[in-house]
Each structure stands twice: as C-alpha cells, then as structure tokens.
C-alpha cells in the first residue's frame, strides 16, 4: 500500500477519534448543565412557592383582621342603638311622670278652690248689710282669682309702661315715681302711694289704701271699702261703691262719697263735699274756711 494512503487513513482515524472524544465531552457537559439547571429551577420554584404561601397566609390574616374589625364595629353599633333605645325609653318614662305630676298639680288647685268657695259661701251667709256683702265680694275675687293678670302660667307681675303702672288681681303694694303717674291697681286689697307729681290712681275692686302725697291728684277707690288720703295740694277724691273713708288733707279738695256709708274729712283749705247715696258723715265742715256741701249729707259736724 502506498505510504501516503496509509498516512491519510491514519490521519482520518485520528481525527475521528478526536471528534468522538470531543462529542463525548460535550454530551457530558450538556447533561451536567441540564442537571444544574434542573437543580436551580427546583430551588427557584420552591422559593417562589414558599413566598406565595407566605403571601397567601398574610392575605388570610388581613382578611381575618378585617372581619374581626367589622364584627367589633357591628357590636359597637348594636350597643349604641340599644343605649339610644334605653335613653329614649327613660325620657318617655320621665315625660309620662311629669305629665302625671302636672295633672296632679292641676287637680290640686281645683280642690283648693272648692274648699275656698265653701268657706266664702259660709262666710257670706253669716254676714249682714250691704257693706259686709261688698267686702266679701272683694275678698272672694282677690283670693279665688289671684293667679295672674298676664298669660298663664306666668306669675303675677306689676307692669310699668312709661308713666303708666298696672297692678295685678292680687294684693299689690304699688309706689309711683316723683313724676305724674297713672296707676291702675286692678282687683285685690292694694296699698298704693303716688308720691310727688300730679297722679291719677284707680284702686278698682278690693279694699284699697290710697295716698296721693304731694301734687294735685285724682284718687278713685272703686268698689270696696277704701281709705283714700289726698295729703297735700288740691286733690279730687272719689269713694265709689262701698263704705269709704276719704281725707282731703291740705289744699282745696273735692270729695265725692258715691254709693255707701262714707266718712269724709276735708282738712285745711276750702273743701267741697258731695256725699251721694248712703248715710254719710262730714267730720269738719267749716264755712269760715270756705267749705261747701253740694248734696244732702246725713251727719255734718259743723265747725263754723
């Protein structure tokens, strides 16, 4: 065989062996790489699974906390609603109790009024004479009706509007100012003082005590047994119905008795007496002072 051919064959054999060896190494490395890849893949997959399970557990915990919070809020709302219902029931019970107390208070004045009516009725049957009947009527109106002259259930209150003073239907003590006043006492046994100024005073119903004090006053007692004092200056005194005592005081006074048995005292000055109906008495008629009597006065103490 030719030497070149032999060398050529040997070269091909050597190259074949070299390629076979190389392929074997590459195959071995590839299997190793595949094994390493599978190992790394399993680690990554396991780590991902652990993280995913941790996230799932954390999510479950969050949902449980949220559910617990919702349950607590629901319990709080239910407790609040129950508390509001209890408060409302308590308020209703208190209102019912107040209404019962008010009804009892409303019933009590009616019982008192019935007892007062019985007492007044018994007192009226035992009294005699027109003057005693007038006093009984005044007392009845004052005691039985002494609630308020304003809108109920306000307490009785003396009102002042400018120079006008208005009393109540109760027993009032009213004092004017040092300026001209108009005083209306309404019902009740009132004590009224005009003070300074030219005052106009109405005692109205009740047994009133009226003082004009200084000033040219007009004093009217109204119905009831009144005591009217003009005091200083030139006054006009009107007794009205009832047995009245009228004293002019200083000054030139005009005194009107009206209906009833009146007693009149002119005082200093030229006084004018108008006795009216009833048995009237003039205590100090003095012609020398200029006193005059316009109507028939049953009893006159003539001082000359």
Residue 133: count of CB within 10 angstroms of its CB: 12
Q: Is 142 exposed, middle or buried (0-12, 13-18, 19+ CB in 10 A)?
A: buried
- Report how far residue 184's alpha carbon sits from residue 168's, in angstroms, rounded to the nearest whole number: 9
137-150, pLDDT tens digit by residue?
A: 444 344 444 654 44
Per-residue model confidence (pLDDT) at position 126? 39
| 246 touches 253 (CB < 8 A) | no
Instruction: Calculate the CA dihedral of residues 149, 150, 156, 157 and round it to 10 degrees.
Output: -110
Question: Mean pLDDT lowest for which of 50-54, 173-177, 260-264, 280-284?
Answer: 50-54
The model's confidence at residue 109, banded by pLDDT at 50, 70 and 90, is: very low
The model's confidence at residue 195, banded by pLDDT at 50, 70 and 90, is: confident
- Report how far residue 216's alpha carbon sits from residue 197's, in angstroms, rounded to the nearest whole number: 7
- What average pLDDT does range 258-281 have in this prediction? 93
Per-residue model confidence (pLDDT) at position 223? 93
Which pTM does this prediction carry? Answer: 0.52
In the sheet with 159-161, reading across from the earlier edge strand, the strands are 159-161, 164-166, 182-184, 200-202, 218-220, 236-238, 254-256, 272-274, 292-293
């Amino acid at each position: 065989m030719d030497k070149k051919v032999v060398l050529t064959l040997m070269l091909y054999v050597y190259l074949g062996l070299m390629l076979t060896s190389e392929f074997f190494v590459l195959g071995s490395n590839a299997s190793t790489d595949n094994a390493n890849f599978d190992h790394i893949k399993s680690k990554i997959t396991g780590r991902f699974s652990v993280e995913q399970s941790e996230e799932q557990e954390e999510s479950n915990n969050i949902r449980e906390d949220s559910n617990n919070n919702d349950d607590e809020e629901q319990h709080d709302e239910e407790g609040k609603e129950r508390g509001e219902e209890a408060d409302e029931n308590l308020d209703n019970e208190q209102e019912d109790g107040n209404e019962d107390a008010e009804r009892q208070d409303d019933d009590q004045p009616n019982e008192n009024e019935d007892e007062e009516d019985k007492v007044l009725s018994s007192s009226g049957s035992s009294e005699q004479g027109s003057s005693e009947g007038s006093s009984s009527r005044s007392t009845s109106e004052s005691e039985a009706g002494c609630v308020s002259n304003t809108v109920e259930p306000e307490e009785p209150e003396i009102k002042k509007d400018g120079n006008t003073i208005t009393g109540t239907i109760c027993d009032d003590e009213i004092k004017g100012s040092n300026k001209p006043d108009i005083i209306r006492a309404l019902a009740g046994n009132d004590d009224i003082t005009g003070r300074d100024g030219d005052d106009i005073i109405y005692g109205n119903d009740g047994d009133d005590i009226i003082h004009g004090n200084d000033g040219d006053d007009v004093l009217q007692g109204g119905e009831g047994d009144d005591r009217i004092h003009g005091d200083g200056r030139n006054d006009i005194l009107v007794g009205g119905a009832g047995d009245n005592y009228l004293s002019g005081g200083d000054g030139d006074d005009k005194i009107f008795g009206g209906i009833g048995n009146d007693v009149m005292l002119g005082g200093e000055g030229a006084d004018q007496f108008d006795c009216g109906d009833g048995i009237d008495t003039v205590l100090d008629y003095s012609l020398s002072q200029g006193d005059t009597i316009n109507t028939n006065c049953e009893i006159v103490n003539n001082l000359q």
